[in-house]
Structures are given as C-alpha cells and as structure tokens.
C-alpha cells in the first residue's frame, strides 16, 4: 500500500536505496544498470565532487528567489556555458528541469514575436511523439498524446 500517486499506479516499483556510479541499488541489494534513467541524467550516482558541491552550497543558503537575487554558482555556470557557445548565445535562463525548459522556450518564443509586432505567430513546429517533459505545454509541443 502506497500513498504515492505513481506514474503507473498499477505497477509495484522497486525501492531505490542508493546509487553507485552507473548503478541504482534497491533495498534488497539488487543492482540496476542506469543507462541514463530518464535519458537526460548524465552525472551518474554518488559522485563525490558533485555531492560535495551540493552540500557546500546548501550549507551556505538553500534558496533565494531569482526575481530578487543572483548567486555565485549561477553566475559561474552561466559564464561557463556562454563562453562555450561561441558568442552566439550569451544569456542562460535557469530552470529546474526539462518540463520547465520547454515551457520557458514556448513562452520566450511567444513573447519574442509579440514584441516584434507579430502577434499572429502562435504555432510551434515540433516532432510528433517526442518527449521533453510532463507538463501540458511540454506534452502538447511534443505531439505526445
């Protein structure tokens, strides 16, 4: 019995206990090769450098609203990405995941054409049955029924 509303409520899921590099280990010790999980996770599990950086940052501050503050890690990452985009993309918009990234892209595209005085440009071209997020906008943009 679970109170979690799982993606497929009829399924019984193994309990992920911990990660080791490319493996997820369940509560019974069974190891699952995690070849990317949701296809977009690429850092592996329990990487000490990543874990230490997360701990260092959360010990300093857990949250500040991006409408009011910037912060050093965000500025550093934006610079890292922008300097590798060969000068063509020099701004980075931070979101928390794939769904939010698609929603942000839809909004940015819409706003761009509104401000250019082309309000009738409201259609998006995308691949049918692609998947880039679980929100209504992201599912719609991917033609994902």
Ligand X SMILES: Cc1ncc(COP(=O)(O)O)c(C=O)c1O
Q: What distance in Å separates the CA atoms of residue 76 and residue 58, rounded to the nearest whole number? A: 17
Q: Does 99 bind ligand X (CB under 6 A)?
A: yes
Two tokens, residue 112: 């761009």
Nearest partner of 21 among 54, 50, 49, 46, judged by Cα: 46
Q: Is 136 in the site for ligand X (CB under 6 A)?
A: no
Minimum gap (Å) between residue 35 Cβ and ligand X: 12
Which of the ranges 70-78, 108-116, 119-127, 130-138 carries the binding residues for ligand X, by CB under 6 A?
130-138
Window 31-70: contact mask with ligand X (x via CB under 6 A): -------xxx------------------------------
Q: Is 97 in the site for ligand X (CB under 6 A)?
A: yes
Q: What is the rounded distance in angstroms from the CA atom of residue 56 to the CA atom of residue 94?
A: 20
Residues in CB range of 16: below 8 A, 6 or more apart:
24, 25, 26
> Can you give the binding site for ligand X, defined by CB under 6 A?
38-40, 97-99, 131-134
């Amino acid at each position: 019995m679970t109170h979690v509303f799982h993606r497929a409520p009829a399924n019984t899921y193994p309990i992920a206990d911990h990660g080791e590099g490319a493996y997820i280990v369940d509560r019974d010790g069974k190891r699952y090769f995690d070849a990317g999980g949701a296809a977009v996770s690429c850092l592996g599990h329990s990487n000490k450098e990543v874990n230490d950086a997360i701990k260092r940052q959360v010990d300093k501050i857990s949250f500040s609203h991006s409408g009011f503050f910037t912060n050093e890690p965000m500025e550093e990452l934006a610079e890292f990405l922008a300097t590798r985009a060969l000068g063509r993309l020099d701004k980075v918009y931070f979101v928390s995941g794939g769904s939010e990234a698609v929603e942000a892209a839809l909004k940015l595209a819409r706003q761009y054409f509104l401000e250019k005085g082309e309000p009738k440009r409201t259609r998006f071209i995308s691949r049918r049955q692609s998947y880039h997020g679980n929100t209504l906008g992201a599912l719609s943009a991917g033609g994902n029924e």
